[in-house]
Amino acid sequence: MRTSFAGLRAGLARIGGRGIQRRTPAELAAMHVAGQLVARALAAMSEHAKSGVSTGELDELAEQIIRDGGGVPSFLGYHGFPASICASVNDQVVHGIPSRAQVLADGDLVSLDCGAIVDGWHGDAAVTLEIGVVPASDSALSAACRSALDCGIAAALPGGRLSDISHAVQAACQAAAARDGVDYGIVEDYGGHGIGAEMHMDPFLPNVGAPGKGPRLPVGGVLAVEPMLTAGTTKSDTLDDGWTVVTADGSRAVHWEHTVAITEDGPWVLTERSLQSEH
């Protein structure tokens, strides 16, 4: 039985009490290179994604950009995953398998998750795109998730605790739900993770929790912060392909992610696009 991202992250959850590895300034700089390659791939896909474009085309575009930039797609072949990106449409939460047969249409939401390895170091990030005109409720859902990501990143401060990030994400989601008058669901069993010389490392980073728990956030630590939010349930199912995670009630889902380094000067978002790094 092959291992999925879900199985791996469940395993990380069981050992999440372990500390966060510290990276040297040189290692962080190397991870920034990988992160910028991910950012370029996501930017290109965001520009190309429109009604009539298949998720398979987006996958091919991302792989080309990553390889042309001297990297290797993190996801391709990872525990048997068959593509370079995850493309999750509408009620698909994460780990959707892109294909030429899956053509985007006006009104779709698509979450694109992308990873790259450069010189042995990983970057990992995700965005949710609106295809054409989507209902206002879908735009609000995505904005709520992105705001939760920003709040989680802001809590990645040296000397804090891992669950400070979890709590910040949860509080932002709850505030958005109250503002929008919607019971948003924070997807259970999925969350962020440590990252570095491997894509998934200790500790697992839940998107819910009380503050002040878990390992300390050290200078030089790196985490992938990634809230996943639905317009309804907190529950999910996995399709027969063994990868694609969908909402249990068919509600729409969104996913935003960044790779974040903890520094003395505050959070450094390694996968935030920097035009300077492209010159």
Distance, in Å, from the CA atom of 138 to the CA atom of 54, rounded to the nearest integer, reads 21
- Whose structure tokens read 């996968």? 271
CB-based contact 30:119 (threshold 8 Å)? yes
Q: Flag whether 277 is in a domain.
A: no
Q: Judge whether 279 lies within some domain.
A: no
Judge whether 120 lies within some domain: yes
CATH of the domain at 160: 3.90.230.10
56-113: pLDDT as tens digits: 999 999 999 999 999 999 999 999 999 999 999 999 999 999 999 999 999 999 999 9
The end-to-end CA distance of the chain, in Å, is 45
Half-sphere exposure of 50 (CA within 13 A, CB side): 3
Q: How would you list the strands of the sheet with 192-194, edge to edge?
A: 201-205, 192-194, 222-225, 258-263, 266-269
Question: What are residue 237's DSSP bridge partners?
Answer: 246
Find the domain containing 166 and state its range: 5-271
pLDDT in tens, 3-35: 344 444 444 343 344 689 999 999 999 999 999
Looking at the DSSP bridge assignments, the partners of residue 94 are 245
**pTM score of the predicted model:** 0.93
How many domains, in total, are found in the chain? 1
